[in-house]
Amino acid sequence: MTDTIVDNPRTVLDNVPTGLWIDGESVPASSGETFTVYDPATEEPLTSVADAGVDDARRALDKAAAVADDWAATPARERGEILRRAFELLTDRADDIAMLMTLELGRALPDSQAETKYGTEFLRWFAEEAVRIGGRFATAPAGNGRILVSHAPVGPSLAITPWNFPLAMGTRKIGPALAAGNVMLVKPAHETPLTMLALAAVFAEAGLPAGVLSVLPTSNAGDVSSAIITDDRIRKISFTGSTPVGRNLMAQAAERVQRTSMELGGNAPFLVFDDADIDAAVEGAYLAKMRNGGEACTAANRFLVQSGVAEEFTAKLTEKMAAVRLGAGYDEGVTLGPLVSAKQRDKVAEMVDGAIADGARVRLGGKVPEGKGYFYPATVLDRVDAYAPVTRDEIFGPVAVISTFESEADAIKAANSTEYGLASYFYSRDLERCMRVAEGLDSGMVGVNRGVISDPAAPFGGVKQSGIGREGGSEGIDEYLSVKYIALT
């Protein structure tokens, strides 16, 4: 039996609120209903959480609207200090937050520890950005007046977060919203609501006024989200998730001309040219593929390798992925935990089986292990056509699919042959090629000789069907501000 890192990882659940977070406190759903959160490693219940309904959503919005003007009028320095205190509290409790994410998401604890560090940094970044909201003053070109441009909070906002990064996808939205002076309602994914509820309690401890932040876990996402979106008081919607759901939310938002930020699906190519440092490329490929067990929208989904170095790259990546240790994420030494659900595991297995049927060669893994838990092993497939069905959709699992190419033009064509455009990666030691390829890849973010590109100080977002808007960086707070032009004589 593998040793656990602590005697009982579930002790971190003792201090997590399990009610809805409305008006600064944990409260039951008006219906009294709850839903169960499961441990993906054992398929056993972790705890039950209040199940928000439409009435709860309206109650949370009422409370938020009642304090919206006061929060908008709160000095920027004070808003920033609250974010800073929340950052410090989360930093002090980093071990517990990481274990909590591992329990509800399943992934290996080292990945949760990395997310804790990454996710908390958004609060520190936007604490600093709160006091840098500016404007401009200029003379009208005709000389007949002055132009004053100022920024104001966009208004009450709704954030809908995914299950794969329970902390960071929250802080990346909440941080700029609060820094800009907006109240916010958050609907976390029903698979992983606990981290967001813990975060709400941290904000309260940091001094955030009641009503400014609400958290509404629910098993009925459609009705609860619609009840909020169709209310004229909501002025901004931020969503991270699938492209089909994003399209539907944008259609709803269009009815009231609400501002939207959409971080949607990805299909990231990872290109390796024959002049690359292969060992560095393998290390970067491993990080780009296996971060979060492959359950990331920025995960490398397609490996396109120039034919002259394809076997060397594939052999070395296979060796590295073979060293992965599969098991419950909270067990000692585990580097790959289960996927979040049976549905997700079965989807990955179906995509791999389809690729094998189409002629792919299995270099590693490729079969669902027996026993409890939603496990899928680290898998490497090569001899895959660059335009095969398995390359069309996000795998969202620990599966590396390798194709080959001959020329730079062929590589860019294959990389761009998707409706998505979130992230791309490539490795080359030729500076001119680096510039050509970076400019030629049709995606919102490009990693050049890097396998991890996310940074709180950089704008995160995509093009094409991967969404609109940016999160993080100095651009992130702009998504939560409206522009006002004042004409002066």
Instruction: Provide the greatest CA pair distance for the chain.
Output: 80
- The percentage of the chain sitting over the pLDDT mark of 70, rounded to a whole number, equals 99
Q: pLDDT, tens digit, for every residue of 266-324?
A: 999 999 999 999 999 999 999 999 999 999 999 999 999 999 999 999 999 999 999 99
pLDDT (0 to 100) of residue 88? 98
Active site residue 33: no
Q: What is the mean pLDDT of residues 116-121?
A: 98
Task: Examine the pLDDT at 337 and tell me if it is beyond 90.
Answer: yes
Q: What integer pLDDT is reported at residue 362 of this predicted model?
A: 98
Q: Are the C-beta atoms of residues 70 and 209 closer than 8 Å to each other?
A: yes
Distance CA 8, CA 82 (A): 32
Number of Cα atoms under 13 Å in the Cβ half of residue 358 = 18
Is residue 407 pLDDT above 50, yes or no? yes
pLDDT class of 4 with cuts at 50, 70, 90: low
Q: 421-443: b or e for each residue (b if 16 or more CB lie within 10 Å)?
A: bbbbbbbbeeeeebeebeebbbb
Mean pLDDT of 53-70: 98
Catalytic, out of 104, 115, 129, 263: 263
Span 210-228, average pLDDT: 97
Closest residue by Cα to residue 346 from 386, 298, 397: 397
> Which residue(s) pair with 47 in the sheet?
37
Residue 1 confidence (pLDDT) above 50: no
Q: 300 and 269 in contact (C-beta within 8 Å)?
A: yes
Average the pLDDT over 7-12 and give the result. 87
| AA identity, residue 33 | E
% of the chain surpassing 90 pLDDT: 98
Q: Is pLDDT at 229 greater than 70 in this prediction?
A: yes
- Rounded to whole angstroms, the Cα distance separating 99 from 387 reads 39
In the prediction, which pLDDT does 2 show?
A: 54
pLDDT at res. 8? 86
Whether the predicted pLDDT of 458 surpasses 60: yes
The answer to whether residues 280 and 313 touch, using CB atoms and an 8 Å cutoff, is no
Q: Which domains does the chain carry?
A: 11-264+466-488 (3.40.605.10), 268-448 (3.40.309.10)
- 469: pLDDT strictly greater than 50: yes
Cβ atoms of 189 and 160 within 8 Å: the answer is no
pTM as predicted: 0.96
Is the pLDDT score of 412 beyond 50? yes
Q: What is the mean pLDDT of residues 361-375?
A: 97
Contact 353, 307 (CB under 8 A): no
Query: pLDDT of 158-193, one tens digit each?
Result: 999 999 999 999 999 999 999 999 999 999 999 999
